[in-house]
Structure formats: C-alpha cells, structure tokens
Amino acid sequence: MLLRDKPEGLTGAGSRNLEHMNGELLDIACERIIRLERPAYIKNSELRFVAVNAAYARLFGRSPDEFKGQRSEAVDDAGAHKALIDCERRALVFG
C-alpha cells in the first residue's frame, strides 16, 4: 500500500481535516496489517516503510521495527527489489 500526499492547493481547515483523516486511516491500516498472517507492508510517498508486519519481516530475518523509515534497498539487496520499486514508483505517478 502506498500513501499519497495531500492534493496540491488544499489549505486551511480542509487541509487539516484531510491530514487528520489520513492520519486516522494510516493508524487503522497499520493496526490491521500487523494482525495479518500474510506478509504485508505500507510505504509512504517517498517509498519508505511506514509499517511492516511480522510475516514480512520474517522473510528477511529482521524485526518489523528495523524497517520503519527505511527504503527497500536499505534492508535487502537492491537488485532483488528493482522490479518492485519500479512498480511502486509507477503506482505513485499513475495511481
């Protein structure tokens, strides 16, 4: 799951409300993926891990906390993630 930035030109109360909603949605998403038995993660618009569940972390022999704020290439061989990173970048650009 990739989290998008707020739409350009949104200011004032609308911007604060959107940020609040996004924060709540992010909290809910993070809580839910943690409980999944299948590997799952959430990244932000900079393709940095925001949340990783235990099943995903086990694939790399790490703890979920080791992923937070990192990019894929920082936690594993960059070559192994090239196709995934390209796909994530396209999702950010094209939706």
Q: Bridge partners of 43?
A: 2, 49
C-alpha to C-alpha distance for 69 and 51, rounded to whole angstroms? 9
Amino acid sitting at position 9: G
Split at pLDDT 50, 70, 90, the class of 14 is: very low
- Mean pLDDT calculated for residue range 29-47: 91
* Token digits of residue 84: 């995934």
CA distance to 13, 31, 67, per residue, from 72 (Å): 35, 21, 8
Amino acid sitting at position 89: R
What's the mean pLDDT when you consider all of the chain?
Answer: 78
Q: What angle do CA 70, 88, 29 make, to 5 degrees?
A: 70
pTM above 0.95, yes or no: no
Nearest residue to 75 via CA among 91, 92, 52, 95: 52
Residue 62 pLDDT > 60: yes
Residue 79: what pLDDT? 66
